[in-house]
Amino acid sequence: MMNVQMQTINQKMAVEYLKFFYPSIRSEITQLSKQNNFAGVIQATINYLKDLLLESKINIIGHHIKLMEFIYKKGNPYVKDMIENLFIRSFESFKKHTKVQYWNDLYNYMPVKFQEIYVEQQKKDEIFFGK
């Protein structure tokens, strides 16, 4: 049996996945990618998830977090950095803008790796900023 390995995902491939995963913001993702604004693409996905959060669509947000994990796992170092520094960091904002129960549910949907990164970010913020 052949061992087929998937190619590492760079920012252009990540954009293609995100256009597929987020059809309702596909045009925005396309426009930002034409400008080589990968950070903007990630921010657009965050904004979309925040809108879902306002509608209390926790299950859908959890699904999208798992889709982002797929990109993260296969991503090159740049893609991983952007997901860590924008997407995962945005979880703190999610926490502040939702009910405790919704946050707990959302946290439980997070892949373990994202939980670890999030907790580490919180520890560093506490050390550096006294939060």
Tokens representing 4 are 């087929």
Which of 4-18, 62-76, 80-94, 109-123 is predicted with the least confidence, judged by mean pLDDT?
4-18
Q: Would the pLDDT of 67 be above 80? A: yes
Give the confidence band of 43 by pLDDT, cuts at 50, 70, 90.
very high
Helices and strands (H, E) in the chain, number of each type? 8, 0
CA distances from 67 to 3, 42, 47, 109, 131 (A): 23, 13, 16, 11, 30
**pLDDT number for residue 52:** 95
pTM for the whole structure? 0.89
**pLDDT number for residue 72:** 97
